[in-house]
Structure 1
Amino acid sequence: MDRIEAMRTFITVADEGSFTRAAERLSISPQLVSKYVGQLERQLGARLLNRTTRKVHLTEAGARYCQRAQQLLDELDELDSQVSDMQTQAQGLLRISAPVSFSTRHLAPLLCAFQQANPAVGIDLQLSDRKVDIVDEGFDVTLRIGRLKSSSLVAKRIAPVRLVLCASPDYLARYGTPTHPEQLSEHHYLRYSYLESDPSLALSSWLRESSSNLVSNNGDVLVQAALQGAGIVMQPTFICGPAVAEGKLKVVLPEFEPEPMGLYAVYAHRQLMASKVRSFIDFVSDYFDDVPYWDRFE
């Protein structure tokens, strides 16, 4: 028996005072109305209606059950409506995981613009450069930078991410400007912990042979060290671009620049996606141009 349908049928009979009128209102047969009410009474072990040839009346148990059942069905309808609204209207708390350096430099204006367009959406932003588990850790969407491997998750490319080798003019004046990757072994290289693990990075073998007195898992630290003349660094232009534009860092070996990585929005499912997630994916997809603003330094 469909318990919810039986409850609705019983309440309709109570409202109409008749199995026949209840059947007409519900667009079902009187026999099915009687069947639903009979099954509900048997399951409860109590008579809910006293039946006569012309009318039905609620018993004491029926009156109490009818009142409470109506409240429960109203609450259920309200819950259904709220969930449905969340699928059609962007609202609720959006939990986002994103990389540290990119977020601190570029994400705040995007999030503010998104919330202006979607004021019913709250945002919980957690910054981490590790690969989070979206489902297990309860995130709605994560922003990731790299070359993503195939998985059960859905990834949408948001913007290209250029990597450049650069150093301060003072460092290059002291140690010379390399003209071929083989010469990198003669230089001080400021090593980013996660980068050379990418086998698709063409410069990986030469970079691994370079001496590294400074290793860090944070690109901002390495770029600041490069500005102090500590060595050559490879970092995304969303970090080092402003310093290059101001002449504080100079790009080296531009002809060997790696293929761009990507900034991706990663989420769990395409189907039945909550409107807050769908709205954010659509918004962030349109936010950056094919040439992001941080690459307009040349």
Structure 2
Amino acid sequence: MDRIEAMRTFVMVVNEGSFTRAADRLDTSPQLVSKYVSQLETHLGVRLLNRTTRRLHLTEAGRQYYPRAQQVLSDIDDLENQLGDLQTEAQGLLRISAPVSFAIRHMPALLTEFQRMHPAVGIDLQLNDRKVDIVEEGFDIALRIGRLQSSSLIAKRVAPVRLVLCASPAYLARYGTPGKPEDLRDHQYLRYSYMDPDSSHSPQKWLQDNRSDNLQGMVSNNGDVLVEAAIAGAGIALQPTFIAGPAIREGKLTIVLPEHEPEPLGLYAVYAHRQLLASKVRSFIDFIDGYFGDPPYWDRFD
């Protein structure tokens, strides 16, 4: 038995005063109306209506049940209307998790333009380089950089993330420019600690495989710090061009071993559900798709 449908049928019978008129309003048969009311009474274990040949009378239980059923049905209709509005017009609070350096450099303009197009959407942007649990931590979308493992989450590839080895001209003048990967063993390495060194596809592993085991250099969990250290002459950094691009354009950093550049990573928008997606999420996914260009604007320095 569909309890909501049975409840709606009972309320219509009371409103119309007969099974026949209720059936006309519901575009069904009097027999089916009677069946729904009888099933509802059986489910509740009480009689709601006393039936005579001339009219219907609410029992005491029916008089208590009728106004509450009306309120429940009204609440359901209001809820469905509100959800329908959410599907047609993007609104509500959109919670986004994004990597720190990427978000600081590239999210403000994007989010400003998105809100200009969708003024009913509020933004809660949380910056974190760790891998957040979208469902447990209540995020609608997470932007992630890497090569994503298969999971129950939906991942939309937004842009390629190019990784380059780079160092300052002053550093290279002092210590020499590597001509082949093996030459990296003689240089200081500025390492990003969140890269997974155990992955066979990891750029960090690629660099570790082409240098000695001496651990001189610097480790940080923030790419901006490493890029600034490279500009200051501290060593060679393997960093994405969305961070290092401006310094490369301005001549503060020089790309090293460009012919041995690691395979690009990807920037992904990750979310939990494909069906019944809230319009605020769908609107953001549609908006960010292609926003950065092809190639992304931060790669236009060659």
TM-score between both structures, scaled by the size of structure 2: 0.90
Give 1:264 shift. Answer: 0.8
Give 1:203 shift. Answer: 3.5
1:8 aligns with 2:8: yes
The residue that corresponds to 1:172 in the other structure is 172
Q: Structure 1 10/186 Cα, relative in aligned 2: closer, same or farther at 3 Å?
A: same
Partner secondary structure for residue 287 of structure 1: coil
After superposition, where does 1:111-150 map in structure 2 within 5 Å? Answer: 111-150=111-150
Question: Any idea what the Cα deviations from partners look like across 1:232-275, whole Å, max 9, x if unmatched?
Answer: 11111111111111111111111111121111111222222222
Give 1:103 shift. Answer: 0.6
Question: Any idea what the Cα deviations from partners look like across 1:11-37, whole Å, max 9, x if unmatched?
Answer: 111111111111122122222222333
Partner secondary structure for residue 137 of structure 2: coil
Give 1:100 shift. Answer: 0.8
Q: Which structure 1 residue ranges, 5 or more long, are not aligned? A: none
Q: Please tell me whether the aligned partners of residues 159 and 290 of structure 2 are also in contact (alpha carbons under 8 angstroms).
A: no
1:285 aligns with 2:289: yes
Distance in 1 (CA, whole Å) between partners of 2:64 and 2:194 is 66
Q: Please tell me whether the aligned partners of residues 166 and 234 of structure 1 are also in contact (alpha carbons under 8 angstroms).
A: yes
Distance in 2 (CA, whole Å) between partners of 1:9 and 1:196 is 60
Q: Please tell me whether the aligned partners of residues 163 and 257 of structure 1 are also in contact (alpha carbons under 8 angstroms).
A: yes
Higher deviation after alignment, 212-221 or 47-56: 47-56
Question: Any idea what the Cα deviations from partners look like across 1:147-200, whole Å, max 9, x if unmatched?
Answer: 222222221111111111111111112112111111111111111123361422
Q: Please tell me whether the aligned partners of residues 50 and 57 of structure 2 are also in contact (alpha carbons under 8 angstroms).
A: yes
Partner secondary structure for residue 151 of structure 1: coil
Q: Please tell me whether the aligned partners of residues 13 and 22 of structure 2 are also in contact (alpha carbons under 8 angstroms).
A: yes
Alignment partner of 1:237 out of 241, 252, 258: 241
After superposition, where does 1:1-298 map in structure 2 within 5 Å? Answer: 1-44=1-44, 46-59=46-59, 61-195=61-195, 197=197, 198-200=199-201, 201=203, 202-207=206-211, 209=213, 211-298=215-302
Q: Structure 1 208/271 Cα, relative in aligned 2: closer, same or farther at 3 Å?
A: farther
Partner secondary structure for residue 77 of structure 1: helix
Higher deviation after alignment, 80-89 or 284-293: 80-89
Higher deviation after alignment, 279-288 or 40-49: 40-49
Q: Structure 1 13/259 Cα, relative in aligned 2: closer, same or farther at 3 Å?
A: same
Q: Please tell me whether the aligned partners of residues 48 and 59 of structure 1 are also in contact (alpha carbons under 8 angstroms).
A: yes
Distance in 2 (CA, whole Å) between partners of 1:265 and 1:88 is 22
Q: Which structure 2 residue ranges, 5 or more long, are not aligned? A: none
Q: Structure 1 95/27 Cα, relative in aligned 2: closer, same or farther at 3 Å?
A: same
Q: Structure 1 35/219 Cα, relative in aligned 2: closer, same or farther at 3 Å?
A: same
TM-score between both structures, scaled by the size of structure 1: 0.92
Distance in 2 (CA, whole Å) between partners of 1:68 and 1:22 is 19
Q: Which amino acid aligns with 2:76?
A: L
Distance in 2 (CA, whole Å) between partners of 1:118 and 1:281 is 13
Q: Please tell me whether the aligned partners of residues 196 and 204 of structure 1 are also in contact (alpha carbons under 8 angstroms).
A: no
Q: Please tell me whether the aligned partners of residues 19 and 30 of structure 1 are also in contact (alpha carbons under 8 angstroms).
A: yes
How much identity, in percent, do the aligned residues show? Answer: 70
